[in-house]
Amino acid sequence: MNKYRLELDPSGRESPWWVTIVALLLAFSLVAVFILATGKNAATVYAKMLTGAFGTEFGLTETLVKAIPLMLCGLGVSLAYRIQVWNIGAEGQFVAGAMAATAITVYLPGLPAWSALPLMVLAGIASGALWGLFTALPKVLFGVNELIISLMLNYVALQALDFVVYGPWRDPAGKNFPGTPAFTAAESLPVWGNSRLHMGLLLALVAVVAAWVFVQKTRWGYELRLLGANSEAARHAGVNIKSYAVLVMLLSGGLAGLGGMAEVSGVAHRLLYGISPGYGYTAIIVAWIARLNPFGIVVSAVLFGGLIVGGYSVQTLGLPSSISNLLQGAVLFFLIAGSILGKVRVRRREAA
Partner 1 sequence: MDGLPAVEFHNLVKQFGTVLASDHVNLSLAKGEIHALLGENGAGKSTVMCMLSGVYRPTSGEIRMNGTAVKIHSPKDAAKLGIGMVFQNFRLVQTLTAAENVVLGDSSPFWRTRRWMERKTREIEALALRVGLPFAAGRPVARLSVGEQQRVEIVKCLYRGNSVLILDEPTSVLTPAEADQLFATLRKLKSEGKTIILTTHKLKEVMAVADRISVMRKGQMLATLDRAQTSEREIARLMVGQDRSPPKTRVPREPGEPLLIMDKVTVVSDRGRHALDEVSLTLNTGEIVGIAGVAGNGQKELAEVLAGLHVWKSGTITFREFRWKGPSVRGSIKQGIAHVPEDRMISGLAGGLGSVDNLLVKSYHSDERANLGFLRTALNRLWSQGLVEQFDVRTAHLDAPVKQMSGGNQQKLLFAREIHQRPHLLIAVHPSQGLDVGATDAVHNLLLGLRAEGRSVLLISEDLDELLLLADRIVVLFAGRVMGEMTHERADREQLGMMMAGVT
Are the C-beta atoms of residues 93 and 256 closer than 8 Å to each other?
yes
CB of 13 to partner 1, least distance (A): 8
CB of 82 to partner 1, least distance (A): 11
CB of 290 to partner 1, least distance (A): 17
CB of 213 to partner 1, least distance (A): 8
> Which of 151-159, 218-226, 289-297, 320-328 is the region at the interface with partner 1 (rule: CB under 8 A)?
218-226
Q: Residue 352 interacts with partner 1 (CB under 8 A)?
A: yes
Q: Residue 225 interacts with partner 1 (CB under 8 A)?
A: yes
Nearest of 25, 56, 53, 40 to residue 320 by alpha carbon: 40
Are the C-beta atoms of residues 94 and 316 closer than 8 Å to each other?
no
Q: Tell me, what DSSP letter sits at residue 198?
A: B
Among 229, 336, 337, 344, indicate the residue that binds partner 1 (CB under 8 A). 229
Q: Residue 348 interacts with partner 1 (CB under 8 A)?
A: no
CA neighbours closer than 13 Å in the CB half-sphere of residue 270: 14
Look at strands 344-348 and 4-8 and give their pairing: antiparallel
CB of 291 to partner 1, least distance (A): 13
> Which of 93-101, 231-239, 245-253, 306-314 is the region at the interface with partner 1 (rule: CB under 8 A)?
231-239
Residues binding partner 1: what is the number (CB under 8 A)?
Answer: 20
Are the C-beta atoms of residues 298 and 283 closer than 8 Å to each other?
no
> Which of 20-28, 229-237, 307-315, 333-341 is the region at the interface with partner 1 (rule: CB under 8 A)?
229-237
Among 2, 3, 11, 173, indicate the residue that binds partner 1 (CB under 8 A). 11
Cα–Cα distance, 167 to 179 (Å, whole number): 9
> Which of 139-147, 232-240, 303-311, 316-324 is the region at the interface with partner 1 (rule: CB under 8 A)?
232-240
- What residues are paired with 346 via a beta bridge? 6
CB of 2 to partner 1, least distance (A): 12
CB of 202 to partner 1, least distance (A): 24
Burial string for 279-293 (b: 16+ CB within 10 Å, else e) reads: bbbbbbbbbbbbbbb
The residues near 45 (Cβ < 8 Å, ≥ 6 apart) are 35, 314, 317, 319, 323
CB of 229 to partner 1, least distance (A): 4
CA R_g for the chain:
22
Nearest of 300, 268, 288 to residue 198 by alpha carbon: 268
Q: Residue 292 interacts with partner 1 (CB under 8 A)?
A: no
By beta-carbon proximity to partner 1, the closer residue of 92 and 228 is: 228
Q: Residue 234 interacts with partner 1 (CB under 8 A)?
A: yes
By beta-carbon proximity to partner 1, the closer residue of 175 and 348 is: 348
Length of the chain: 352
Q: Residue 226 interacts with partner 1 (CB under 8 A)?
A: yes
Are the C-beta atoms of residues 242 and 140 closer than 8 Å to each other?
yes
Q: Tell me, what DSSP letter sits at residue 346?
A: E
> Which of 56-64, 102-110, 222-230, 331-339 is the region at the interface with partner 1 (rule: CB under 8 A)?
222-230
Nearest of 58, 53, 89, 49 to residue 305 by alpha carbon: 53
Cα–Cα distance, 5 to 112 (Å, whole number): 69
Among 3, 175, 219, 348, indicate the residue that binds partner 1 (CB under 8 A). 219
Among 172, 232, 316, 346, indicate the residue that binds partner 1 (CB under 8 A). 232
| Rounded-to-10 torsion of CA 296, 299, 305, 311 | -110
Q: Residue 223 interacts with partner 1 (CB under 8 A)?
A: yes
Residues that bind partner 1 (CB under 8 A): 11, 217-220, 222-223, 225-226, 229-230, 232-238, 350, 352
